[in-house]
Amino acid sequence: MKVAIISDVHGNLTALETVLPAIRKEADRVVCLGDVAATGPQPHETIALLKELDLPCVLGNTDESLWKGAPDEFNRKGMSTDEVRRMKALDEWTRFQITNTDREGLSTFKPTITVRAADLAILCYHGSPRSNTEGILPTTSDDELARVFSKREANIFAGGHTHRQMVRRWRNSIVVNPGSVGLPFEQYGDGTTKNPAWAEYVMLTLGERELNVELRRVRYDLSKLTDAVRKSRMPDPEWWLADWF
């Protein structure tokens, strides 16, 4: 059995529409780890597509903010005053793009989802099982993971939030992060960050005597995303596009 896990679409419908056909052609099941709409050019359209496909979705931190109609408490560390201002404007614009039906859909997202296949359990969450704002990194210590996963049992722990692909062992389990479909990060040695035009996900192959984890990326046409951004009337479109390549 094959289970595909996606995360952090962030309103990038171009990326989602590119990666889904490849995923659905191969996967028996697909799970989304949340943060589906915020900060991208097509938040309403992205929510509508996921609803149409009836994909099970975990409640991300930005999903929760949009559902409740509250400003997003994004991480301001390292952000300039100008960047904070632009992010606030984008967050407000996003909240006006989604409908009451969209909010109702977001309200049905679960804090965690457990998928069972081939006698294996996959625990899906956004940041961690205990909080959708808590990220798990390759550098997170085993002792801290023991606290994060306290009283949780799974063969595979799957979370997003950090926008960084990851696979690591923890005790007798595997911890994976599929990266981001709509807003992946590439960080360089000088501290700068860029957004590559590829959609990231993880494909799990589960069998009686097989467990295979593949971190995947699918390239898409950046010009299509650029057109969507400029047609969206989102605030500061050129600023948003500046870091993409």
Calpha distance 1→113 (Å, rounded): 18
Q: What is the pLDDT of residue 74?
A: 59
Q: What is the pLDDT of residue 209?
A: 81
Closest CA to 98 of 167, 58, 60, 41: 41
Give 10-residue mean pLDDT values along the chain (245 residues).
97 98 95 97 98 97 94 69 92 96 97 94 98 96 97 96 97 97 91 93 91 97 98 97 96
Specify the CATH number of the domain 2-107+179-241.
Answer: 3.60.21.10
How is 21-35 classified by DSSP, letter by letter?
Answer: HHHHHH-SEEEE-S-
The H or E element spanning position 58 is none
Closest CA to 30 of 47, 10, 7, 11: 7
Q: What is the pLDDT of residue 190?
A: 82
Q: What is the pLDDT of residue 43?
A: 98
pTM over 0.85: yes
**First and final C-alpha spacing in the chain:** 35
